[in-house]
Amino acid sequence: KNEVEQSPQNLTAQEGEFITINCSYSVGISALHWLQQHPGGGIVSLFMLSSGKKKHGRLIATINIQEKHSSLHITASHPRDSAVYICAVWERISGTYKYIFGTGTRLKVLA
């Protein structure tokens, strides 16, 4: 079982739909990171959070530390949101950090 699991693996939505991508992890973490990988391959940092909720434009990220779960929501989705969304967690072990990535959720938003 992967330490970081994302669901769904693939998602197709119509423009305007509300989208939710989930990330569950099995390790104790100090922070969780949402990243976006564009179709051209570039990777962009979206959010880094350790508790609660963060919002940036149409993107909202939440985390529940007790349940070891985070969600990334996209409101009023648009074709330009089509990308792979990657969840990564920072696990702190004996003073050193280990950065663990999920395998990503591939989102396609149709016009």
28 and 36 in contact (C-beta within 8 Å)? no
Q: Which is nearer to other proteins, 69 or 90 (CB)?
A: 90
Instruction: Give the one residue of 61, 86, 107, 109 binding other proteins; rule: CB under 8 A.
Output: 86
Tokens of 48: 């880094």
Q: How far is the CB of 104 from other proteins (least distance, A)?
A: 6
Instruction: Give the one residue of 88, 105, 107, 109 binding other proteins; rule: CB under 8 A.
Output: 88
Torsions phi, psi of 21, nearest 5? -120, 135
Which has the closest alpha carbon to 15: 106, 85, 80?
80
Q: Which of residues 39-68 bind other proteins (CB under 8 A)?
A: 41-45, 48-50
How remote is the C-alpha of 22 from its chain's centroid? Answer: 7
Which spans of this chain sit near other proteins (rule: CB under 8 A)? 4, 30-31, 33, 35, 41-45, 48-50, 86, 88, 90, 92, 97, 99, 101-104
